[in-house]
Structures are given as C-alpha cells and as structure tokens.
Structure 1
C-alpha cells in the first residue's frame, strides 16, 4: 500500500474535486500546472498525466489542444475524471507496475507530468522504479515534469523523497535535469519546500 492509500483509503475523489472547485469559484487559478506544461511543448503534443487524479490538469491540457492520456490508481479519483470528461482516455493502473503496452497505450509521449505530490505519496523505495517506467514512455528529447513538496508544510504526510534522491533516480533512468522552479508559475527555485523539476530524456 502506498502513502496515498494509507492517507485516504482510496475514497477521496469527490472531496478532492470539491476542494478545487471551491478554489476556482473563489477566483483562484487552478490551471497553473497545465499552463506550465503548455509552455514546454506545443499544442498537439502527446502528454501523459501520471497520477492524474480527478483529471483537472489533463482536462485543461486537452482543452488547449494536447493529446492526453491519464493514469491513476485511485478509482474514486478516476470516477470523477470520467464523469467530467468521458471522451478522454483514463486508465486505472499502479505507477509502480505501469506497463503501457498492456493497457494499449502507445509509449511515445512528448511530456509526462507528475503533479499533486505523487512522488512523496508513493510507497517508500518505489520512486526509482516509477521514474524509470515514466522515463521509458518518453520519446527521445521528451520531458518529465514533476512537482512535489519537500517539507511538512507542503505535504499531507511526513516528507518522503528529497531532491538529490529524485535527481539520482532520474539520472539512473537516463534523464538529465533541464530546470527547476519553486512553483508552477515558474518562479525561480530558492531552496524552499516545494519544487517543480524538468528532466529531459
């Protein structure tokens, strides 16, 4: 069981979606991740949303003209995603065992986005394997984009993977660091408790 399942029991999809809906209704920008990704690859590019949750990022990218695929383990989250955008391809799969061929997914993505603190919420010790699997679905030159908290102030659980460890996982998977930011708004990384990392295959 991963840390997300321990935290939520796999039943938080509707509550998670409601929280972001309330933020949007209050005037908050809830599309920073999609806008960040759209600045990296042109419309029409293939994007894998790994740990897609309720589909907030992927649905917005699809609206912007991207060819998207979403994968998540949590059935309650995918129920919301499928309700909101039934025309889009949503797959239930554990990222630690992610096998695109078995799911009928063509593995030639221009960008893989991993938002929503996915890496710190994996089961400890599985991070390198997930990075390797996600890196393998990128075409040469493709980008892996991951944003996650690094301290308790930015996480719902005690901190998991640190940046040096994450960078090592990426290097072992053949991915090189391109840039790192402090927010999805592309603010420069200042050593704080949240980072958005861009690696290239």
Structure 2
C-alpha cells in the first residue's frame, strides 16, 4: 500500500504544534467581536434550496458548515486536522464533522451518502494540499457531487497554485467551470484578479 502524501497544512502544524489552536482561537475571537466570517457560506446558501446536502471540504473549525446547518442544510465537514475537527464538534454541534484527507475522499466508505448538491472549498484550502494531490482532490469532489451539483472553490493568487493550473486540474478531475468570480460577493473575475472563486459542475452532467 502506497504511503499517504502529507498535506502542506500537516507540515505546518508539525513544525508548529500550536498553530491549529491559534487558528481555532483566531476565528472564535473574530466571531466574538462580531466580524463577518461567513460570507462564503451566504453565497453557498443562495445557490441551493433549503435542506440541500452540503460538503464543507477543508471545514477547519466549522465556521461555514455551522452557518449552513443553522439555515437548514444537511452539512458534512471534512478536514485533515483533528484539532480543527474537535473544535468544530465542540463549538458547532449538528453537522457531521469528520477528520480525513481530501485527497482520499471516500464518504460512502465512512457511512455517509456520497451525493452532494454543493461542495464548498474555501479558506485557501486547495493551496494547503500537497501539489501532487490537488488533481485527485478535485476528482474526488466530482465523484461526490450529484449530477446537477456544483463545487465552489476559492483561493488567492501568489500561493504556488496558478489559476490556469487549477482550472486544468479541475478539467482533468471531471469538473467544468460554470462561473469565475474574483470575490465571494460576486465581483467578476478578470485577468488581473488576485483571487478566484470558481463555480464548477461535473463534466458529465
């Protein structure tokens, strides 16, 4: 059996064991201060009807999945970092929170239905994956979508993952872009944009 390829996030947390706890407290503090930390989730909510099945891919401590659960969706969150999953379970009961590697996503194998109406992958998650696993991760998203479902992936420029490379990886993984935005509040994507929000559908749909 081949050895699993570690994500860049795992390398960061191994080098600094306090990083995960710092990340959890950062968002707890922002929420306590009344800052808007769920803008991405509002976009996802607008894309689907109530009771949709949502996969929060790279869910971290649960900020987006918690909001989507609260407004009436069925949410499964997956993150490679067990510290973040533990925080999500503590702070946001209700969704299904699972520790796992997005590059090896197999939710039916963990007793969870595979088909989602929408997959959200925010917070620069794609850039924290090992580069060699990005294409497999996007293929996993395609496998877990309903035929009419969509995956929404957002990340910034300058993080060693060119937008054109990402779109090529998405195409190789079975995903086709429906809409490219430069922000989560729906500003259009241009060649000068320093952020990408890609709304993708299954190529075979």
Q: What TM-score, normalized to structure 1?
A: 0.90
Determine the structure 2 residue equivalent to 1:167. 167
Please give the alpha-carbon distance, in whole angstroms, between the structure 2 residues aligned to 1:31 and 1:180: 20
Please give the alpha-carbon distance, in whole angstroms, between the structure 2 residues aligned to 1:173 and 1:110: 18
Determine the structure 1 residue equivalent to 2:182. 182
Determine the structure 2 residue equivalent to 1:116. 123
Please give the alpha-carbon distance, in whole angstroms, between the structure 1 residues aligned to 2:70 and 2:94: 12
Contiguous gaps of at least 5 residues in structure 1: 152-158
Mean Cα deviation higher: 57-66 or 37-46: 37-46
Native 8 Å contact 2:105 2:140 kept in 1: yes
Please give the alpha-carbon distance, in whole angstroms, between the structure 1 residues aligned to 2:29 and 2:58: 21
Native 8 Å contact 1:11 1:76 kept in 2: no
Secondary structure of 2:47 counterpart: coil
> What are the superposed Cα offsets for residues 56-95 of structure 1, whole Å, 9 maximum, x if unpaired?
0000000011111011110110110010123321111111
> What are the superposed Cα offsets for residues 116-173 of structure 1, whole Å, 9 maximum, x if unpaired?
111111012111000001110001021010111111xxxxxxx222111111122122
1:135 to 142, 145, 154: 142
Please give the alpha-carbon distance, in whole angstroms, between the structure 2 residues aligned to 1:5 and 1:173: 24
Q: Pairwise CA RMSD of aligned residues?
A: 1.5
Contiguous gaps of at least 5 residues in structure 2: 1-5
